[in-house]
Amino acid sequence: MSTVEDSDGANTASGEKDAESSKMHKVHKMRAKRDHGGDIDPVYKKLSAINGEINRMSSKELRDKLAELKLDVRGSKDILQKRLKMHYKQRKLMKAKVKPPGNSTYDYLIIIDFEATCQENNLNYNHEIIEFPAVLVDCHTRETVDEFHEFCKPIINPRLTEFCCGLTGITQDVVDKADEFPAVLERMESWMSSHYLGVDHTFAVVTDGPWDMSRFLQMQCNSSKIHFPHWGKKWINIRKAYSSYYSCKRMNLEEMLINLGLKFQGTQHCGLHDSRNIARIAIQLLNDGCDLVKNEFLHVAPPSPGTKSLGCLSNISSGDTSDHQNRTKEEIVKKLEDMKLESKNFVEENQDLLEYHRLQST
């Protein structure tokens, strides 16, 4: 079973946050120097002055300015500051004929939020996926274009617990009428093929946390005795992307929406409704200039005789899991080269990751 060594939902200590912010500032500074032959373009100095002015603005002043620019005025003060800074950054860089941020790495995002069998106060429960939703977002038009949604029949624990029914809203008769997971997965992949995903269009899976891919899908594939799908081995953890981009603590789904000035639409713990709301957050991130890229992956170990393949969650951006701790720099470089990310900016992203690793090492 997958092991997750992460602190989702935990507040970051102020000292650690300041140190992390300082490291990333150095990364962006080195990147700017690299992109401009060792000299920082004057436009970045102008942007630094603009950012200073924005930092001194009140919430009302920020909303008034955003309204004047016909931009979204919803969200906390941190969100408003980030939105206004990104607007000026894009405008100034385009005027200076420097490549502006905000271009999406992928053509589409597939937002997935499984619901699985569960039992109250039982962390070792053998989960089986009972709801399989997928929401397709076009990164260029920044809107939802299609949805896939089916229920699955559990086999190991065919009777849903009272706790599971109450949490998910899924009733016994719904799963009794459903097909088993392998058949549903096959239809979902046919749905992906109908949109030419991975053929004509690049895409990335988006989840709210690491558990959907590293725990639920991994356990389900093992119990169903099927191969783990290749498209699920790397994904975007929206919580990490959100906290990193807006420089805030790690938040859950509802907290992220509230921080953006949005309200949850639908019923919580309904897989389809959760996926739709995660899609709203992803679209807002794109609108605010964030380039969403894969930040977690599942390393599937070779299967031993008589057992199925097991995996462990690896964090692409931090490089601090136990799997990475004893690696030399050369091994990390080789690992990055072997990843083969579906990204138009592969070399540039990996250079940033290596710079970040060097900063951590020192």
Helix axes 77-95, 238-246, angle to 10 degrees: 80
The rounded Cα 344 to chain-centroid distance in angstroms is: 17
Q: What is the dihedral of CA 35, 40, 41, 42, to 10 degrees?
A: 170
| Structure confidence by residue, pLDDT tens digits, 294-343 | 999 987 655 444 444 333 343 433 333 334 344 455 665 555 555 544 43
| Structure confidence by residue, pLDDT tens digits, 165-183 | 999 999 999 999 999 999 9
pLDDT value at position 93? 82
User: Taking the CA of residue 210 as centre, how many other CA atoms within 13 Å lie in the half-sphere pointing to its CB?
Assistant: 22
pLDDT value at position 311? 39
The DSSP code for 217 is: I
Give the residue ranges of DSSP H helices in the chain. 14-35, 42-55, 59-68, 77-95, 162-168, 172-176, 181-194, 211, 218-224, 238-246, 253-259, 271-287, 322-325, 329-339, 346-361
Q: How confident is the model at residue 91 (pLDDT cuts 50, 70, 90)?
A: confident
| Structure confidence by residue, pLDDT tens digits, 51-86 | 999 999 999 999 999 999 999 999 999 999 999 999
Using DSSP's 3-state secondary structure scheme, residue 167 falls into helix
What are the Cα distances from residue 217, in Å, to 55, 114, 122, 221, 226? Answer: 43, 8, 18, 6, 11
Q: In this predicted structure, which of 31-40, 62-71, 103-112, 198-207 has the lowest mean pLDDT?
A: 31-40
The residues annotated as belonging to the active site are: 115, 269
